[in-house]
Structure formats: structure tokens, C-alpha cells
Amino acid sequence: MRTVKILLLALILLVIVVLSLANRELVTLNLLPEGMATLMPVSVQVPLFLVSLLSILVGMILGYLLEWLREHKHRRRASEHAREAARLSREMHELRTSTGKPEDEVLALISR
């Protein structure tokens, strides 16, 4: 499985490198639309592969962030259940030790 993972990552890296080498042309990236650019013209020339890779990276980061925020209620509920299970386990242990009864019914029958 580890070999398959490494091969898949190597294939993805190879595709990224090939696409980057094929798209080295400079493109003008305008940070404001045409109508607003008269107020403050801001444009940058960057390679096309850089624009596409940064777009993918920003999209992935936003996706991970939104998914993490969406799962917050599930993580909170799991934490509450874990605390409740620990509390009930402590309570069960205290009840078993306070009654003095054996923990197993078979042992209780043998001890008579």
C-alpha cells in the first residue's frame, strides 16, 4: 500500500511539473476589474502555471477550512460522549468497589 501511495504521489508530481513547463508564458494578472482599475491600476505579470497552482492551493485551503468548521459540531459531540463514557465508567467502578460484591457472578456462586 505504501508503494502504491508513493507511486501515485510521484505521478501527480510528474503531471504538475509537465504542466508547469508547458505553461511558462507570462500572463497579466489584474487585481481589479477594468472599470475600477482607473482608480488604482494594479497588475502583475506572472507565469501561467503559477496562477493555476496558486488557485488550486487557495481552493484546497478554503475547502479544508470550511470542512473543519462544518465538522466542529461532530467533534464537540464526540468529545461530550467521551467525557460521559469516562464519567459512567468511573461511577460503575465506584459502585462495584463500594458494594464489596465480586465482579463476576460465577465467582459469587463459587464463594458461597
Range 52-78 average pLDDT: 96
Q: What is the structure's pLDDT at 100?
A: 61
Grid cell 463500594 in the structure block, residue: 98
Tell me the C-alpha distance between 60 and 63, whole Å: 5
Q: Band of the pLDDT at 35, cuts 50, 70, 90? A: confident
Encoded amino acid at 101, one letter = K
pLDDT digits (tens, 9 = 90+) for 83-96: 999 999 999 888 88
Local structure of 8: helix, strand or coil: helix
**DSSP assignment letter at 18:** H
Q: What is the structure's pLDDT at 51?
A: 93
Q: Band of the pLDDT at 37, cuts 50, 70, 90? A: confident
User: Above 70 in pLDDT, residue 73?
Assistant: yes
- C-alpha dihedral sign at 6, 9, 15, 18: negative
Write down the pTM of the prediction: 0.63
- Domain range list for the chain: 1-58, 67-112
Q: What is the structure's pLDDT at 101?
A: 58
